[in-house]
Amino acid sequence: MSITRSIPTMGVASADKARRAGERRTGHLLLAPAFVLMNVVGFFPMVYSLYISLTDYNPTHGGASRFVGLKNYASALFDLQFWHAIGLTCVFVTLSVVSSLVLAVLMSLLFNLRYPGFIVMRTIILVPMLITPIAVGIVWRVMMMPDLGVLNYLLTAIGLQPQLWTSSASTALISIVLVDIWQWTPFMFLIVFAGISSLPRSPFEAAAIDGAGPIRVFFSITLPLLRPVIVIATLLRIVDAFRTYDTTFIMTRGGPDFATDLVSIYLQRVNFRFFDLGYGSALSWITLLIITTIIVIFTKLSGFTRLVSEKEDR
pLDDT (average), residues 229-248: 93
Lowest-confidence region among 55-69, 194-208, 297-311: 297-311
In CATH, what number is assigned to the domain containing residue 277? 1.10.3720.10
Residue 19 lies in a domain: no
Statement: residue 9 has pLDDT above 60: no
Q: Are 144 and 187 in contact (CB under 8 A)?
A: no
pLDDT > 50? residue 3:
no
Domain assignment of residue 131, yes or no: yes
pLDDT of residue 288: 94
Let me know if residue 109 belongs to a domain: yes
- Count how many Cα atoms sit within 13 Å of the Cα of residue 114 in the half-sphere of its side chain: 2
Question: Any idea what the Cα angle at residue 174 is, between residues 172 and 178, rounded to 5°?
Answer: 115
Q: Which of 184-193, 205-214, 287-296 comes out lowest in average pLDDT?
A: 205-214
pLDDT value, residue 1: 44
Q: Assess whether pLDDT exceeds 50 at residue 2.
A: no
Residue 114 lies in a domain: yes
On whether residue 127 sits in a domain, the answer given is yes
Structural domain span for residue 308:
78-313
Residue 159 counted as domain residue: yes
Question: Which of 133, 72, 26, 18 minimizes the C-alpha distance to 285?
Answer: 72
Q: Does residue 51 fall inside a structural domain?
A: no
Strand partners, 226: none
In a domain, 183, yes or no: yes
The CA–CA distances, whole Å, from 234 to 118, 185, 188, 248 equal 25, 11, 8, 21
* DSSP of the chain: -HHHHHHHHHHHHHHHHHHHHHHHHHHHHHHHHHHHHHHHHHHHHHHHHHHHTTB---TTT-S---B-TTHHHHHHHT-HHHHHHHHHHHHHHHHHHHHHHHHHHHHHHHHTT--TTHHHHHHHHTSGGGS-HHHHHHHHHHHT-TTT-HHHHHHHHTTPPP--GGGSTTTHHHHHHHHHHHHHHHHHHHHHHHHHHTS-SHHHHHHHHTT--HHHHIIIIIHHHHHHHHHHHHHHHHHHHHT--HHHHHHHTT-STTTT--HHHHHHHHHHTS--HHHHHHHHHHHHHHHHHHHHHHHHHHTHHHHHHHHHH-
Read off the pLDDT of each residue in 189-216 and give the average, rounded to a whole number.
89
pLDDT tens for each residue of 38-71: 877 878 888 899 999 999 999 888 767 899 999 9
User: How many structural domains comprise the chain?
Assistant: 1
**Is the predicted pLDDT of residue 16 greater than 70, yes or no?**
no
**What pLDDT does residue 302 have?**
81
